[in-house]
Amino acid sequence: MTFAIAYQGEPGSNSHMACTEVRPDWEAVPCASFEDTFAKVASGEAQLAMIPIDNSIAGRVADIHAMLPETSLQIIGEHYLRIRFSLLGIPGSSIEQAREVHSHIHALGQCRKLIRQHGLKPVIAGDTAGSAREVSQWQDPTKVSLAPPMAADLYGLDVLATDAEDDPTNTTRFILLADKSPVPTRAELPGPAVTSFVFRVRNVPAALYKALGGFATNGINMTRLESYMEGNEFAATKFMVDVEGHPEDPAMVHAFEELEFFTTKIKILGVYPAAPFRLSHGASN
Q: What pLDDT does 65 receive?
A: 82
Q: What pLDDT does 232 receive?
A: 66
CB 110 within 8 A of CB 100: no
Q: Catalytic site residue 174?
A: yes
Q: What pLDDT does 64 receive?
A: 87
Q: What pLDDT does 133 receive?
A: 97
Q: How many residues does the chain have?
A: 285
Q: What pLDDT does 56 receive?
A: 87
Question: Which is nearest to 68 in space by CA: 192, 215, 228, 243?
Answer: 228
- Residues with Cβ within 8 Å of 130's Cβ and at least 6 positions away in sequence, in order, are 9, 10, 13
Q: What pLDDT does 266 receive?
A: 94
Q: What pLDDT does 163 receive?
A: 95
Half-sphere exposure of 248 (CA within 13 A, CB side): 13
Active-site residue, from 34, 38, 85, 174:
174
Spatial distance between the Cα atoms of 253 and 246, rounded to a whole number of angstroms = 9
Active-site residue, from 128, 172, 195, 263:
172
Low-confidence ranges of the chain (pLDDT < 50): 284-285
Spatial distance between the Cα atoms of 218 and 214, rounded to a whole number of angstroms = 6
Q: List 124's β-bridge partners, or say none.
A: 103
Q: Catalytic site residue 197?
A: no
Task: Provide the whole-model pTM.
Answer: 0.91
Q: What pLDDT does 234 receive?
A: 65
Q: What pLDDT does 285 receive?
A: 41
Question: Which is nearest to 175 in space by CA: 21, 281, 52?
Answer: 52
CB 183 within 8 A of CB 247: yes
